[in-house]
Structure 1
Amino acid sequence: MNNSLFLNKTYSRNELKGLLEAILFVKGKSVPTEMLENIFEAKKTEIESLINELNEEYNNRKSGLCIIPVAGGYQLVSNPGYKDELAELFGKRNEAVLPKSCLETLAIIAYKQPISKEEIDKIRGVSSTRSLNSLLALKLINIVGSTEDVVKSPLYSTTERFLEFFRITSLEDLPSIESVEFNKLLESESFYAEEESKEEENNNQVEDSIPFE
């Protein structure tokens, strides 16, 4: 590799950890493991070893930072141990606020994907047009195909942004829909704003159709 970082310099173990930390900080979001492997010209196990050492150092000095696996990569985030203090100082993160109707729609898509709007509406009992438009705009879902019906309908699935939003590595990490963890997720005030009334949803059932892409 002509652009290799390692052509003209030998890095110590601490420098490698510092470089990894700097990369995660500058990116500000999940960095794919494969990208880190290419940058460091290292195997996945070696990247994991560096991250484990960094997290151990963070933990030993009660750092405000930690590195977590997200969406097939790693992200530098604030230590959840300080979440109450941060919420008191700065309030809840705006990006983590979703109307409950959107969260319900998103949960259905996450567990049933790929799924059509008609199927989502049947499960929820109300129109999901507004929620789907919002989730598409936030890039938490995308259109991955269409039904095989005579009148084709878009099929929706979650995106990598969805994994980053909920800070999970893959869909396999989603809690069982019957589990206590899932119910806590739906009830968590940090993930949705005040619930939209079903009356409001029903009043907006006749809306422009979602464009098929």
Structure 2
Amino acid sequence: MKHKSIIESLLFAAGDEGLTAEQIAEVIDLPVQEVKDILQSMEEALKQDEARGTVITSFGNEYRMMTKKENAAFIQKLAEKPSPKTLSQAALETLAIIAYNQPVTRIEVEEIRGVKTERPIATLCARGLIEEAGRADAPGRPILYATTAEFLDAFQLKSIKDLPPLEESNGSMQQEADLFFGRFEEALED
């Protein structure tokens, strides 16, 4: 059934936040009770299917996609395994923007990049290359991000002032940043 596929995708995309039956019903344009019935059917089917690694659970009025308890040891093993050192192009671009404009909010980074940056920022925080550096004096008090001492160590910089200058006038700013962060990526791979 197509609705099951859509609901599964929605729950996966929602992650830990989960979704209510009402939210799902609004997105897929079905009556709430029909969505609840589909969710109940999916919940039972996933629990019974030994080939599947996920289940649907409900907490209060929210539904979430979660991994099966019997797979917890494997998930823990993966979480403890060191992640690859390379950074995606999106993470490198985000890091360059933060390094040269710090402290900067996520929204400011997105304005410069032109795309969403939640994942690259989360990756950079997890790697210890950036950190929260306070709150901006703006509506909603958005988080400010700045580079860390680990960032300076990785780039072998004494201070942020040692970053290579970016000259906007001759159009080489992006090339210089790409070259600098390309060297950083190579250093991480070694």
Interval containing the TM-score (normalised by the shorter chain): 0.3 to 0.5
Higher helix residue share: 2
TM-score (ref. length: structure 2): 0.47
Pair member with larger Rg: 2
Q: Which has the higher contact order (CA 8 A, sep 6+)?
A: 1
